[in-house]
Chain A
Amino acid sequence: MSGFRGTISRRNLLKTTAASGIVLATPTIFTSKAWSQSAFVNDPAKLGKLVLGFNVPQTGPYADEGADELRAYQLAVEHLNGEGDGGMLNTFSSQALEGTGILGNKVQFVTGDTQTKSDAARASAKSMIEKDGAVMITGGSSSGVAVAVQALCQEAGVIFMAGLTHSNDTTGKDKRANGFRHFFNSYMSGAALAPVLNNAYGSDRKAYHLTADYNWGYTTEEAIKSATEAMGWETVETVKTPLAATDFSAYITPVLQSDADVLVLNHYGGNMVNSLTNAVQFGLRDRVVNGKNFEIVVPLYSRLMAKGAGANVKGIFGSTNWHWSLQDEGSQAFVKSFGTKYGFPPSQAAHTCYVQTLLYADAVARAGSFNPCAVVEALEDFEFDGLGNGPTLYRGADHQCFKDVLVVRGKENPSSEFDLLEIVEVTPVDQVTYDPDHPQFAGGALGTCNPGA
C-alpha cells in the first residue's frame, strides 16, 4: 500500500509541477514565430543585435584556408563598423555603406568550425541561426560543405554567402535562392586555361587526368576535359585517386607507360601538393614524349598550395580567382589593410570572403532591409566594380558572379615566400561566361527565396 501511495504522490508532484509551470507561463508573452511581428527569421530590429555567422574550417585539411578566411572576415567587420582604413569600401563602386555598421546596426559576429564535414558544418550553422541569431551565414572551404550549408540556409531562411567553393554544383545543380557565390568555378577554370594551354603547348596534345575522387574532382575533370578537347587535345585516360591518398606514386607510374604528354592534376590542397611532388620526383617534367616536352597542369591554384609544393610549382599553369599582386585600386587597398593588420598578403580565400561580406552588407543597405528576399532581389543582376576583379555581375539566374579569371604560372624566381605565382593572363569575362542551363550546370533550380518565419 505504501508503494502505491508513493507512486500516486510522485505523479501528483509531477502534475502539480507541470500545472504550476503552465500557470506561470500564461501571463507572460507567449510568442510563436508564426505570430511574431517580423516577416523573417532573426530580424536584427527584433533581436536588438546584428549577428553574422562565419562558418569556416578551423580543424582538418583546410584549416590554413579557414584561418585566412577568418582574418578576412574580421577585417571586413572592422571596415563595416568604420574602424581601420576602410579597405575596399573606398574603392567599391556602390557607395551605400558609410562605415556605420549595416543600416545603423553595429556588426557583431560569431565563428564556428565546419571541420570540413557537412554534418559538423550544418550543426555549427544551425547553432548560429538558432542560438546566436545570425541573419547571414558565410564561409566554407570545400564545395561539399558549401552545398550542404547553402541548403540549410535555404530551409532556415537566412542568406548564405559562399566562401571558397569551386565546384560547378554550388551554382549548378545544387543552387539555392538564398545562396550566392562570388568565387569562380570549374567551368571557368577550363574556359580560361584552355586558350593559354593551346598557345603554350599547341593543339596536338594527349592529356592524362588524375582526379580527386569526390564531387569537386568530377566537375573539374569534366570542365577541363571538355575545354581542352574542344581545342583539339585528346584525353588518354582519367584516373580517380582517393581523397585520403598521400602517396601518388602508384598513380604516376602508369602515366609513364602511357603515350600522354600532359598530366592534369585535378587535386586541391594537400592532395595537389603530394601528387605534384610525386610527379616531379618521377622525372615527368624532364620527359620528352611524341617529340614534345611533358607538361603538368593544375586547374585550381592557391598560394597556400604553391607554398606547400615549393620549387615544384615553377612554370606550372593553373587558374585562380584573385591574386594579391593585382595592380587595380581595389586589390591594392585590400592588400594594404590586410597586410597592415596581419603582416602578410591575403590569399584568394581571404579575398572572396571579404568581398562576400561587403557585398551582403551593401545589398542590405541598398535594399533597406535585412529581409532575405529583399537582399536576394538587391543582389540579383547587381553590377559592381572596385572589389579586385574588375567589373563583375551577380547573375540572377544562378547567383554566380561573372568576372575576369586569372591564369597563373609558378614563378621561376620567387622574391619572397608569398611571391610564388605570376599572372600570365587575365581572361576576360566574356570568355568564361556560359548559359545558366549549360549541361555542366543543368539539373537544379533556384526555387524561391525563403525568409524563414
Chain B
Amino acid sequence: MLGLNKKDTTLLFIVVFMTLFAPFILNPFPVGSQLAQFNAGYPDLMQRFVIFGIFAIGFNILFGLTGYLSFGHAAFLGVGSYAGVWMMKLLSMNVIPAILMSMVVAGLFSVLVGYICLRRSGIYFSILTLAFAQMSFSLAYSVLTPITNGETGLQLGLNDPRILGVSQVEGSIPPANLFGIAMRDSYELTLGGWAFTFNAGYYLCAVVMIVAFYAAIRIFRSPFGLMLKAVKSNQQRMNYTGLNSKPYTFAAFVISGVYAGLAGGLMVAMDPLAGAERMQWTASGEVVLMTILGGAGTLFGPVLGAGFIKYFENIFSKINENVLHQWFAALPDSIENVLIAVVYPFIGKGWHLTLGIMFMLVVIFLPGGIMEGIQRLVNLFKRRRTTDDERAGGSSALANNAKAAE
C-alpha cells in the first residue's frame, strides 16, 4: 500500500494508530487517582511528543543513514522558529505560512551550513556543526537582539502589523489558527473517572508527523536511501568506485535541516514564541540522545526516544517532595523519610540523573536503543512460539533462530 511493503505498511499503521489515539493511550489513569501524576495526555506534552518526534525523524535521516553526527541540529529548529514567529508577526496568524516559511528558511540555512561543514567528516564534521550552532545561539542571544529579541525570546505583540490579519481582537493577540480553527481549542471527553483532551493543535501536529514519517520511510527504502547507507558503511570505498558521495550527504543534510525547520515551525504554531536557548548545544545534544536512545537508523526508534525524553522532562521533573509524602503517607514516619531520602535525588530536579542512568543502561545493554529491546522481546516471544510449534511437529525453527541471533 502507498508504495510500501507489508512490514512498512504495518509500521505506518501502528504510528497512525498511536498518534491518533494518543489522548487515550497517554491518559491511562483516572483523574482523581494518585497515579494521575503519570498521565501525559495533556495538549502541550502531546504536541511536544510529536514535534520532537519529527525533529528526531529528520535527524535520523542524516545520522541514522549516513552516520554523519551533526551536533548543531538545534540551530535549524531555532532558525525555523524565528522565521515562523516573524511570519505570524508580519503576515497572518494562520499557521500554514509560518510552517512553510520555517521549512524554507531552515532549508536555506542548512544549505549554507552543510556546504561548509560537509567538507569534513567524522568528528571534524561534528565539531564544525557544533561551532555553527553555538555561533547562531550567541548571535540570537545578544548581537541579533533586534531580530530575535535576545534572551527574552521573540514573541507576538499587540501592535504587530499582520498584513493579512488583524493586529488585535478586543485587546488581545488573536490565537494561532488553521483557517479559523484555533490551535489551542480543545474538546474534553469525560468517560467515568477518566478525562481525555482532544486538542486541535495536537491533531495538526499528528497529521504532519504521519506525513513526515511516511516520507522518511520512502527515503529509507529508496535508492537514495541505499546510497546514504553505503556512505555510512564505507564512504571511502564508495569514492574509490568513482561515485561522488557528496551530493547525497548534502541532500540528506538539507532534508534533515528542513525536518528540523518543520519541527520549529510547528512549535511556533502551537506556542508563538522563539527563544534563543532552543539553539543551544544542549538542545542539539538532546536530539542526539533521543535518536540513540530510541535506536539510530531505525524508522520508529527516534520517535520513541523523543517521547521517552520529553516524558521524563515533563512528568518526572514535576514530582516534588510533597507528592512523595502523599505516596508514602501510609508508611510509618521513619520508613517514609528513609524512602523519600532514597527516591528524592532521582525525581523532581534530579530527573536529569534518572535520565542519565537510563541512557547509560540503554547504551551498554541495548546498543541498538529501545527498538533493539523491543526486537529482542518480540524474538523471545517468537522463539517460544516456534519451540511450541516444534513440539507440535512444526518446522523452520532453524531459520527463526538464525534471525533471532542477528
Interface residue ranges, A against B (CB under 8 Å) = 3, 7, 10, 14, 24-25, 28-33, 58-59, 63, 109-113, 117-120, 122-124, 126-127, 130-131, 142-144, 147-148, 151-152, 154-156, 169, 174, 177, 213-216, 218, 240, 242-243, 444-445, 447-448, 450
Contact = CB atoms under 8 A, between A and B. Distances in A.
Interface string B300-339: 0000000000000110011010100000000000000000
A344 B188 CA distance: 46
Contact of A28 (B45, B186, B191, B271): B191
B277 A117 contact: yes
A148 B152 contact: yes
B349 interface: yes
Contacts of A152: 271, 273
A124 B318 CA distance: 8
Interface in B164-195: 168, 170-173, 175, 184-191
Contact of A127 (B156, B314, B320): B314
Given A29-B190, A118-B277, A450-B172, A151 B155 contact: yes
Given A28-B191, A117-B275, A214 B142 contact: yes
A242 B48 contact: no
A447 B275 contact: no
Contact of A25 (B39, B141, B173, B189): B189
Given A25-B191, A31-B190, A148-B275, A113 B317 contact: yes
B314 A118 contact: no
A243 B277 CA distance: 13
A215 B150 contact: yes
B187 A32 contact: yes
A174 B277 contact: no
Given A25-B191, A445-B158, A445-B159, A240 B273 contact: no
A448 B170 contact: yes
B58 interface: no
A3 B6 contact: yes
B158 to A, nearest CB: 5
B44 interface: yes
A312 to B, nearest CB: 26
A31 B189 CA distance: 6
Given A117-B275, A151-B273, A112 B317 contact: yes
Contact of A213 (B44, B141, B155): B141
Nearest to A34: B185
Contacts of A24: 191
A29 B161 CA distance: 41
Given A59-B349, A447-B172, A143 B152 contact: yes
Contacts of A215: 145, 149-152
A7 B150 contact: no
Contacts of A25: 189, 191
A155 B175 contact: yes
B250 interface: no
B317 A118 contact: no
27 contacts: A28-B190, A30-B189, A109-B322, A110-B320, A113-B349, A117-B277, A118-B275, A122-B273, A123-B44, A123-B45, A127-B42, A130-B42, A130-B43, A131-B42, A144-B150, A144-B151, A144-B152, A154-B172, A154-B173, A155-B173, A155-B175, A155-B184, A156-B184, A214-B150, A215-B150, A445-B158, A447-B172
Contacts of B364: none
Contacts of A118: 152-153, 273, 275, 277
B35 to A, nearest CB: 13
Given A123-B45, A131-B42, 11 more contacts: A7-B1, A31-B187, A32-B188, A109-B322, A113-B317, A124-B317, A143-B152, A148-B273, A213-B141, A243-B142, A447-B172
Nearest to B271: A122
A3 to B, nearest CB: 7
Contacts of B124: none
Contacts of B45: 123, 127, 131
Contact of B197 (A109, A130, A177): A130
Contacts of B173: 154-155, 447
Nearest to A113: B317
B13 interface: yes
Nearest to A108: B322
B127 to A, nearest CB: 18
A213 B142 contact: yes
Query: Closest 9 CB pairs between A and B?
Result: A448-B171, A214-B151, A58-B349, A126-B44, A118-B275, A144-B151, A213-B142, A130-B42, A131-B42
B348 interface: yes
Contacts of A214: 141-142, 150-151
Contacts of B187: 30-32
B172 A448 contact: yes
